[in-house]
């Protein structure tokens, strides 16, 4: 029995579409009009094997945005009539321009066969096109044709019939990244649309969102009439991102979308597909890219840039960092003087100021890093980094699309694994996506940043930039090795081809960089108050209560009394000296005696504070872990901080700040945490290296774990990431500690 399949024919004007249509259908044609408009509707039938093809010739268009009636008709047929497959006729001689429509067809997701037409002309121009490679990169079959002579047309019909049979018109939209700003806006808008079936009316939410951002009048009007409330929310989101793009990049979403589509095409053509003449800005970008993405020079420059980032950050950030340290020290002193002794003072000074202040103290360094990252992103260099890493990534069983999740997670420093893990959605292969999701959290996210900055300041005060550079490279190396391990064992499978968007270079504006850097810094500051502060207060409580049992507290009180009593004779000696009017002035002797008494009492106070901390809920927990953790060099206070870091990694710094502050007798005169740890004999270099490794690799914070569960679809992988990462982190930390000790 023969099967009937509907095939739509799309292409730019003059690509040879009508010629292909004629070659396919011969005399079996019917010409009519689309209802109510003058656009011609041509249909015909063809046979391929045992399939009957019903072919619809769409009007020739350059795009699928509603700029003209032709474009509207073309997309209505594709989306509403749901052909089983579509043939996209492209002129091989001007591939770059023609692929712009191809990309939009793929974005709709209709099963697509590309007819690489006018191959005879292209050959005459000296172009050689690798159709097989093009098909791999587009993810769609490509058939070379010469429609005028009919060459390749039977193969084209067969390919369309096969695809139509396999996919039956089922949409598989191509997901293109449009850069961090637009991707976020598209995701937000798609989420709004998702909630209103009335508004989407069967169209894909993401596609509608993109069209909305492109200012597609037809879509915007249709949404308004279908669901006014949803339309209003979308328009607000769209206006917001348009304003943001205008302020930061001086351009409009529509232009950015076009840029990224051309970037997508340019990078396809670059991968040994074809050589072309390009337009100006793209040509200049190409010339820059011959150096910046050069096979050998490119990676060297990339490493140089990375190293330069840290060098610059520490040189410029040194002075404001001292100011921040001084400020929080002063604040602690003021609060200590103003508040009466007791739990409230302890909470404010040790819990809040020494805890949260420790995290906020890193703001100057973080602002500088974020400014540089904004420069790399806005200029287009970040996309090149991803492009270069693609080759490396594939060697380790990852995918070019894994690079962005890594960078978003903090590949250079200061990202977040939550959006990083979500960014892995662009990967089509589930196995490659899983490998990416499980390894991206090893990167140096914004929360680990203050931890590493603190640890390098303590252990490598003279080589902070070098240390941060090595930390970053180590994180990448471990992530890649773990990925390789996972991809060769529990999630093994073939790798899929990859296309990367390379938008043309752009000179970033200072204003744009400042806005981008400020957005991230504000995120960091907000986290310090909304996430770190409440956790710090909880931990302060866990480190304060239940305190010392009464008998033990009484013991310390007795010791203090004994000391005071022992100083009594000294006071008598002072009185004697007064009578004798000896050589030394009386006041001096009095001072000396008082000072000695204070010192002796302070020793007892310190011992008591330490005993109380050790006896607190958190203290007991930390001490209990010491049996195991001492293998890696961690004593009980570090254990508390590491456990607390699971809530949010920067809490590690806050918790240590509180723990060391509570153990101190005189909070008003306390030194910054870094100074305290530097002079603590427990904090050796071996412990430092072991801690850096552990912090880099152990269980992702709980928000990330939750996101892994969402994105992988099972708690299994989320639990795996906690158990496996912590196991790996501990093994490496122990090894480092035992070797360096």
Token pair listed for 208: 């509608």
Measured from the CB of residue 259, what is the shortest distance to ligand GDP in angstroms? 27
Q: Of all helices (H) and strands (E), which one includes residue 121?
A: helix 119-124
Phi and psi at 173, nearest 5°, equal: -65, 140
- Residue 19 interacts with, from Mg ion, ligand GDP, none (CB under 5-8 Å by kind): ligand GDP
Q: Which residue is nearest to Mg ion (CB)?
A: 18
- Contact between residue 30 and residue 79 where contact means Cβ atoms under 8 Å apart: no
Paired with 56 in beta bridges are 8, 43
Measured from the CB of residue 75, what is the shortest distance to ligand GDP in angstroms? 17
Beta strands of 196-260 (E only): which ranges?
A: none
CB-wise, 22 or 350, nearer to Mg ion? 22
11 binds ligand GDP (CB under 6 A): yes
13 binds ligand GDP (CB under 6 A): yes
CB-wise, 96 or 607, nearer to ligand GDP? 96
- Residue 102 interacts with, from ligand GDP, Mg ion, none (CB under 5-8 Å by kind): none
Cα–Cα distance between 657 and 115 in angstroms, integer?
66
- Residue 348 interacts with, from ligand GDP, Mg ion, none (CB under 5-8 Å by kind): none
Stretch in the footprint of Mg ion (CB under 5 A) among 18-26, 219-227, 432-440, 598-606: 18-26
The DSSP line for 151-169 is BTHHHHHHHHHHHHHHHTT
Measured from the CB of residue 138, what is the shortest distance to ligand GDP in angstroms? 20
Of 4, 9, 18, 402, which one interacts with Mg ion (CB under 5 A)? 18
Measured from the CB of residue 531, what is the shortest distance to ligand GDP in angstroms? 58
- Residue 148 interacts with, from ligand GDP, Mg ion, none (CB under 5-8 Å by kind): ligand GDP
- Residue 11 interacts with, from Mg ion, ligand GDP, none (CB under 5-8 Å by kind): ligand GDP
The bridge status of strand 85-91 relative to strand 112-117 is parallel
CB-wise, 95 or 467, nearer to ligand GDP? 95
Cα–Cα distance between 575 and 578 in angstroms, integer?
5
CB-wise, 58 or 535, nearer to ligand GDP? 58
Stretch in the footprint of Mg ion (CB under 5 A) among 12-20, 147-155, 305-313, 503-511: 12-20
26 binds ligand GDP (CB under 6 A): no
Q: Is 141 helix (H, G, I), strand (E, B) or coil?
A: coil
Beta strands of 461-530 (E only): which ranges?
A: none
- Residue 147 interacts with, from ligand GDP, Mg ion, none (CB under 5-8 Å by kind): ligand GDP
- List for the chain the helix, strand, coil content (%; round to 5): 70, 5, 25
* CB neighbour class for 563 (10 Å; exposed up to 12, middle 13-18, buried from 19): middle
Measured from the CB of residue 16, what is the shortest distance to ligand GDP in angstroms? 3
Segment 117-156, which members bind ligand GDP (CB under 6 A)?
117-118, 120-121, 146-148
CB-wise, 144 or 181, nearer to ligand GDP? 144
The bridge status of strand 51-57 relative to strand 112-117 is unpaired
Of 6, 15, 629, 721, which one interacts with ligand GDP (CB under 6 A)? 15
CB-wise, 18 or 466, nearer to Mg ion? 18
Give the count of beta carbons closer than 10 Å to the beta carbon of residue 171: 15
Measured from the CB of residue 60, what is the shortest distance to Mg ion in angstroms? 6
Q: Give the contacts of 255 (CB within 8 A, at least 6 positions apart).
A: none
Selection from 667, 673, 615, 620 nearest residue 643 by Cα: 620
Selection from 130, 131, 10, 29 nearest residue 74 by Cα: 10
Cα–Cα distance between 576 and 572 in angstroms, integer?
6
Measured from the CB of residue 269, what is the shortest distance to Mg ion in angstroms? 26
509 binds Mg ion (CB under 5 A): no
Cα–Cα distance between 411 and 473 in angstroms, integer?
9
* CB neighbour class for 172 (10 Å; exposed up to 12, middle 13-18, buried from 19): middle
Measured from the CB of residue 160, what is the shortest distance to Mg ion in angstroms? 18
Distance from the Cα of residue 711 to its chain's centroid? 14
CB-wise, 39 or 553, nearer to Mg ion? 39
Measured from the CB of residue 147, what is the shortest distance to Mg ion in angstroms? 11
Kindly state the number of chain residues that form the binding site for ligand GDP, as judged by CB under 6 A: 16
211 binds ligand GDP (CB under 6 A): no
Measured from the CB of residue 502, what is the shortest distance to ligand GDP in angstroms? 29
Give the count of beta carbons closer than 10 Å to the beta carbon of residue 473: 13
Measured from the CB of residue 74, what is the shortest distance to Mg ion in angstroms? 12
- Sign of the C-alpha dihedral, residues 132, 133, 136, 137? negative
Which 3-state string (H, E, C) describes 1-12?
A: CCEEEEEEEEEC
- Residue 120 interacts with, from Mg ion, ligand GDP, none (CB under 5-8 Å by kind): ligand GDP
Cα–Cα distance between 572 and 578 in angstroms, integer?
10
* CB neighbour class for 725 (10 Å; exposed up to 12, middle 13-18, buried from 19): buried
Cα–Cα distance between 228 and 230 in angstroms, integer?
6
Measured from the CB of residue 87, what is the shortest distance to ligand GDP in angstroms? 12
29 binds Mg ion (CB under 5 A): no
End-to-end CA distance of the chain: 78
Measured from the CB of residue 217, what is the shortest distance to ligand GDP in angstroms? 26
Measured from the CB of residue 17, what is the shortest distance to Mg ion in angstroms? 5
Cα–Cα distance between 607 and 132 in angstroms, integer?
75
Segment 42-61, which members bind ligand GDP (CB under 6 A)?
60
Cα–Cα distance between 181 and 253 in angstroms, integer?
9
Of 5, 6, 7, 17, which one interacts with ligand GDP (CB under 6 A)? 17
CB-wise, 150 or 308, nearer to ligand GDP? 150
Q: What angle do CA 532, 537, 538 make, to 5 degrees?
A: 100
CB-wise, 119 or 659, nearer to ligand GDP? 119
Measured from the CB of residue 150, what is the shortest distance to ligand GDP in angstroms? 9
16 binds ligand GDP (CB under 6 A): yes
403 binds ligand GDP (CB under 6 A): no
- Residue 16 interacts with, from Mg ion, ligand GDP, none (CB under 5-8 Å by kind): ligand GDP
19 binds ligand GDP (CB under 6 A): yes
Q: Is 389 helix (H, G, I), strand (E, B) or coil?
A: helix
5 binds ligand GDP (CB under 6 A): no
- Residue 118 interacts with, from Mg ion, ligand GDP, none (CB under 5-8 Å by kind): ligand GDP
Measured from the CB of residue 23, what is the shortest distance to ligand GDP in angstroms? 9
Measured from the CB of residue 92, what is the shortest distance to ligand GDP in angstroms? 8
- Residue 14 interacts with, from ligand GDP, Mg ion, none (CB under 5-8 Å by kind): ligand GDP
* CB neighbour class for 575 (10 Å; exposed up to 12, middle 13-18, buried from 19): exposed
Burial 322-361 (b: 16+ CB within 10 A, else e): eebbeebbebbbebbeeeeeeeebbbbbbbbbbbbbbbbb
Cα–Cα distance between 25 and 161 in angstroms, integer?
14
Cα–Cα distance between 690 and 700 in angstroms, integer?
17
Stretch in the footprint of ligand GDP (CB under 6 A) among 8-16, 163-171, 557-565, 699-707: 8-16
CB-wise, 100 or 683, nearer to ligand GDP? 100
Kindly state the number of chain residues that form the binding site for Mg ion, as judged by CB under 5 A: 1
14 binds ligand GDP (CB under 6 A): yes
Judged by the rule CB under 6 A, the positions of this chain that interact with ligand GDP are 11, 13-19, 60, 117-118, 120-121, 146-148
Judged by the rule CB under 5 A, the positions of this chain that interact with Mg ion are 18
């Amino acid at each position: 029995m023969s099967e009937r399949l509907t095939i739509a024919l799309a292409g730019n004007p003059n690509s040879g579409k009508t010629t292909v249509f004629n070659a396919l259908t011969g005399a079996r044609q019917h010409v009519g009009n689309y209802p109510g408009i003058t656009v011609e509707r041509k249909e015909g039938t063809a046979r391929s094997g045992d399939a009957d093809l019903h072919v619809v010739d769409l009007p020739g268009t350059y795009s699928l945005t509603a700029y003209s009636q032709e474009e509207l008709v073309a997309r209505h047929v594709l989306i509403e009539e749901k052909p089983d497959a579509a043939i996209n006729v492209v002129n091989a001689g001007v591939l770059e321009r023609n692929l712009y429509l191809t990309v939009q067809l793929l974005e709709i997701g209709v099963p697509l066969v590309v007819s690489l037409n006018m191959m005879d002309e292209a050959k005459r121009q000296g172009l050689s096109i690798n159709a097989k490679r093009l098909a791999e990169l587009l993810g769609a079959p490509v058939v070379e044709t010469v429609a005028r002579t009919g060459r390749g047309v039977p193969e084209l019909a067969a390919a369309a019939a096969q695809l139509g049979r396999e996919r039956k018109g089922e949409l598989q939209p191509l997901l293109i990244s449009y850069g961090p700003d637009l991707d976020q806006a598209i995701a937000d808008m798609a989420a709004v649309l998702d909630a209103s079936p009335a508004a989407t009316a069967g169209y894909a939410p993401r596609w509608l969102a993109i069209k909305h951002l492109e200012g597609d009048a037809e879509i915007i009007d249709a949404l308004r009439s279908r669901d006014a409330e949803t339309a209003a929310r979308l328009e607000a989101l769209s206006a917001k991102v348009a304003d943001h793009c205008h302020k930061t990049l001086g351009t409009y979403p529509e232009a950015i979308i076009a840029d990224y589509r051309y970037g997508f095409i340019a990078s396809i053509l670059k991968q040994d597909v074809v050589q072309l003449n390009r337009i100006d800005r793209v040509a200049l970008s190409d010339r820059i890219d011959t150096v910046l993405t050069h096979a050998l020079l490119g990676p060297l420059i990339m490493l140089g840039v990375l190293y330069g980032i840290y060098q610059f950050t520490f040189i410029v950030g040194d002075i404001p960092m001292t100011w921040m340290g001084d400020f929080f020290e002063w604040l602690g002193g003021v609060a200590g003087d103003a508040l009466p002794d007791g739990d409230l003072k302890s909470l404010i000074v040790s819990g809040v100021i020494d805890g949260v202040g420790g995290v906020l103290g890193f703001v100057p360094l973080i602002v500088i890093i974020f400014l540089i990252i904004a420069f790399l992103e806005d200029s287009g260099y970040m996309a090149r980094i991803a492009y270069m890493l693609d080759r490396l990534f594939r060697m380790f069983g990852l995918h070019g699309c894994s690079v962005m999740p890594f960078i978003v997670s903090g590949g250079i420093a200061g990202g977040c694994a939550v959006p990083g893990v979500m960014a892995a959605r662009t990967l089509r292969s589930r196995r490659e996506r899983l490998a990416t999701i499980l390894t991206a959290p090893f990167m140096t996210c914004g929360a680990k940043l203050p931890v590493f900055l603190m640890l390098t300041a303590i252990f490598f005060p003279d080589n902070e930039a070098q240390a941060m550079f090595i930390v970053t490279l180590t994180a990448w190396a471990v992530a890649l090795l773990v990925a390789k391990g996972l991809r060769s064992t529990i999630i093994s499978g073939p790798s899929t081809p990859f296309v990367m968007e390379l938008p043309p270079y752009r000179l970033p504006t200072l204003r744009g960089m400042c806005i981008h850097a400020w957005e991230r810094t504000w995120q960091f500051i907000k986290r310090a108050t909304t996430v770190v502060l409440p956790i710090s207060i909880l931990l302060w409580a866990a480190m304060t209560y239940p305190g010392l049992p009464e008998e033990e507290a009484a013991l310390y009180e007795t010791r203090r009394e004994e000391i005071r009593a022992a100083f009594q004779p000294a006071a008598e000696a002072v009185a004697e000296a007064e009578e004798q009017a000896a050589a030394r002035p009386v006041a001096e002797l009095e001072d000396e005696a008082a000072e000695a008494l204070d010192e002796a009492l302070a020793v007892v106070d310190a011992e008591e504070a330490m005993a109380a901390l050790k006896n607190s809920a958190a203290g007991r927990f930390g001490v209990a872990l010491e049996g195991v953790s001492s293998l890696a060099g961690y004593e009980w206070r570090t254990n508390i901080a590491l456990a607390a870091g699971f809530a949010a990694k920067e809490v590690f710094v806050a918790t240590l700040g509180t723990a060391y502050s509570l153990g101190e007798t005189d909070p008003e005169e306390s030194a910054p945490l870094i100074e305290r740890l530097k002079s603590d004999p427990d904090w050796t270099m071996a412990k430092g290296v072991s801690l850096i490794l552990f912090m880099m690799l152990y269980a992702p914070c709980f928000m990330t774990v939750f996101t892994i569960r969402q994105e992988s679809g099972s708690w299994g992988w989320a639990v795996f990431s906690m158990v496996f990462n912590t196991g790996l982190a501990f093994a490496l930390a122990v090894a480092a500690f035992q070797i360096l000790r």
